[in-house]
Structure 1
Amino acid sequence: MSTTAQANATLKREAWGRLRKLPSGRWQVRYPGPDGKTYTARTDDDKPLTFVTKTDARTWLASLQTRMARGLWEPPEVTAARLRAEVAAETARSMGFEEYSQRWLKMIRDEPNRQGKQRAVGTIRSYKGKVIGYLIPEFGDTPLREINVERIKKMTDRLDRIPAPLNPKSKFNGITRPVLVVLMMILRQAAREGLISSVPDISVPKQKSVRHDADHDSGDDVATPVQVEALYAAVPDKWAIAILLAAWCQLRRGECLGLQRRDIEWRDDGGATLHVRRQLNANTGGYTTLKTEAGQRSLSIPRLMLVRLRQHLDTYVASEPNAPVLPTDAKGSVPLSNTRWGYLWM
């Protein structure tokens, strides 16, 4: 008997579908699909499926015909893709907090925010500090779906017991709220991705002062001219101009430290204009743009400080346009750091 004849002899037409005995002795099934195509039996993960006996093959073929009659059939590759997606979704729903938080950090670093802008390096570093310093030690590999109101409440209670760095007697330490804000950002993103059904019903407390008690008078925060002069006299000469820039030009610390010689424009009328263009970032240690476009501004420098400002520039600031107004060393090219400035107040 020829090879073709032998193959035909092993290919048996059923009432519906075909059975074929393979050289291995196992049975193969082929059947017509509702879409008009002919399919070979495959497993749910889209691999070839054969049967030990002819009876097994016929039983499988009968069950398949029943599924088709009920409208439950789909092409093998579609079934495999659906099952893979379901497994991936279940794996994601079981993802531990540490794994997901690292993925979240990468997302906020690489993708723009809702306004279409990339997040500042300092912002990302701040979020990372909260995640690594507080959230991962708290939750570790806990599945996201197990982080509920009770777990979060236990975390906030522990954080609340950390003394405030600036005022150990204060009821508010300035730690709990920013950590909780970052946690809720992570959980909201997990909910948007369908990894958790909903975000725990947690109310983030309002920002509280860590420097003052509840009976503090906010008017005490405004320095009087006499106090400004006292501070000016107390700070080392090469950095004292920062006191006047903060008091009379209303510059923030990072804005003061980020000033360069080119930012001070002397006018023909004897006055001067200050251009605030950048800041020295406390997180990165380098120059960064200001957080908002409104932060970039030009203002007239009060005349009461012009003489001191000119003396400062002549004595301590290098002649290059990009020389820092507050250098670490006189005439130096390295700006005074946020950390070193902080030690002046200790």
Structure 2
Amino acid sequence: MANKSGKRRRFGAVRKLPSGRWQARYPGPDGLMRPADRTFESKADAEVWLSQTEADLTRGDWQDPDAGAVNFETYARQWVVERGLRPTTAELYRRLLRLHLVPFFGTLDVDEITAPRVRTWRTERLAETDAPTTVAKAYRLLKAILETAVDDELIRRNPCRIKGAGQEKAPERPVATVEQVYAIADAMGPRWRLMVLLGAFATLRPEELAELRRGDVDLDAGTLRISLASPELTTGRRVTGEPKSTAGKRTLILPAFIHTDLKRHIEWFAEKETDGLLFVGEKGAPFRRSTFGRKWRKARAKVGLPEGFRFYDLRHTGNTLAADTGAKLKDLMVRMGQSSVRAALIYQHSSLTHQRELADSIDARVRAQRAREGQEPAAKRSGTDLARDA
């Protein structure tokens, strides 16, 4: 088709439709003529669009308008399969898809998910669920899936662009006192007492406790080796494999006060085989979350711990205790089995009591050093001591 100057266009063609609007058509990389994704009010507008499309093709920025015509639900479920995720993570993602993403986006193609639609979805989820932490998880999943769609050249830009929408602001988890830990350990009974103590004072995860075996224990050295984990899925099936992170493989030195409980438990309750499980139920089977959960809730109520206090919060209790003893960040990371500095930093807060203990320790060390150098009598009382007497 010729343009206004009478010369034939060297790229694409425009024509006037019976409706009075103008259509633009252009040859794609495969040589096939493709119509523009919209019509235009004037011939000039159609020609400008053709020029822009030609430039995109020349720069390699052109994207097949039909590439994103892939159903979101199909794409998302395949995305989960292809990630090679841990079973518990894959289960979480499938649940987030089923409950939060597919009901809203499931019938759409990937390229039909726009920024306004994402904002609307998030607003509705926050209002309907009153669960901002879960919505943040679902948003992060949606963003990750669509980021892969960008890499696959199904869409040009990720529509998930809400600042801070993927950040979780979970409330501070409760911390039990040492007295409360022992109270609930007693309430759980002899078979599960050690599990409570290890959850708190060795900061072991439930899935790590489930896979502890006789061979992982060195009674003489007072150590535990963590090399495997058996998380339980919602179906009740346990999936044994590597710990949550590479740092999860570790050897822990146990506080001496646990040694007696450890020896008694191995003698009374652990499987008798050399590589037998440390924790099994009354009938000899590996413990189940459902059965254990019922015992936990009864024991929790008996000792007066809040209803929201989970077994996993024992780990939070132990990590806080370790941090309050002055443990360095790296020490915390090793003990927690965490490769993330961010996770360990949660416990690096400082109470006034801990600040006083640190100040006293610094005071004592400095005075001892100066006394050795003959600059100050070692017996001189610290400013902290004087303040306490005031």
TM-score by length of 2: 0.56
Q: 2:78 is matched with which residue? A: 103
C-alpha spacing 1:282/1:187, structure 2 compared with 1 (3 Å): same
Check if 1:82 corresponds to 2:30: yes
C-alpha spacing 1:92/1:141, structure 2 compared with 1 (3 Å): farther
From 161, 178, 202, the counterpart of 1:225: 178
Higher RCO structure, 1 or 2 (CA under 8 Å, sep 6+): 2
Give the aligned residue type for 1:202: I
Return the alpha-carbon distance in structure 2 between the equivalents of residues 299 and 178 of structure 1: 32
Q: CA-atom RMSD, angstroms?
A: 3.0
Check if 1:144 corresponds to 2:119: no
Shift in Å, 1:83: 5.3
Q: 1:207 is matched with which residue? A: 168
Shift in Å, 1:85: 12
Alpha carbons 1:285, 1:337 under 8 Å: kept: no
From 287, 291, 294, the counterpart of 1:340: 291
From 118, 122, 126, the counterpart of 1:156: 122
For structure 2, list consecutive stretches of 5 or more residues without a partner in the other structure.
1-7, 13-26, 36-62, 298-390
SS at structure 2 position matched to 1:275: strand
TM-score by length of 1: 0.62
Return the alpha-carbon distance in structure 2 between the equivalents of residues 82 and 152 of structure 1: 33
Alpha carbons 2:140, 2:166 under 8 Å: kept: no
Return the alpha-carbon distance in structure 2 between the equivalents of residues 300 and 228 of structure 1: 19
Q: 1:127 is matched with which residue? A: 93
Alpha carbons 1:317, 1:325 under 8 Å: kept: yes
Check if 1:313 corresponds to 2:266: yes
Paired residue total: 243
Q: 1:272 is matched with which residue? A: 222
C-alpha spacing 1:314/1:94, structure 2 compared with 1 (3 Å): same
Alpha carbons 2:87, 2:239 under 8 Å: kept: no
Give the aligned residue type for 1:242: M
Q: 2:381 is matched with which residue? A: none
Give the aligned residue type for 2:151: R
- Which of the two has greater helix per residue? 2
From 181, 187, 193, the counterpart of 2:152: 193
Q: 2:311 is matched with which residue? A: none
C-alpha spacing 1:180/1:71, structure 2 compared with 1 (3 Å): closer
Superposed CA offset, 1:180-225 (max 9, x none):
111000110111111111012223342122xx4xxx6x7xx33222
Q: 1:5 is matched with which residue? A: none
For structure 1, list consecutive stretches of 5 or more residues without a partner in the other structure.
1-66, 73-78, 110-118, 164-170
Shift in Å, 1:141: 1.8
SS at structure 2 position matched to 1:278: coil
Alpha carbons 1:328, 1:336 under 8 Å: kept: yes
Superposed CA offset, 1:137-156 (max 9, x none):
12112122221222222222
SS at structure 1 position matched to 2:30: helix
Superposed CA offset, 1:149-190 (max 9, x none):
222222222322355xxxxxxx64531011111100011011
Alpha carbons 2:208, 2:226 under 8 Å: kept: yes
Return the alpha-carbon distance in structure 2 between the equivalents of residues 302 and 80 of structure 1: 70
C-alpha spacing 1:256/1:154, structure 2 compared with 1 (3 Å): same
Shift in Å, 1:253: 1.9
Larger Rg: 1
C-alpha spacing 1:273/1:86, structure 2 compared with 1 (3 Å): farther
Superposed CA offset, 1:88-110 (max 9, x none):
9444322221122123223213x
Shift in Å, 1:306: 1.3
SS at structure 2 position matched to 1:344: helix
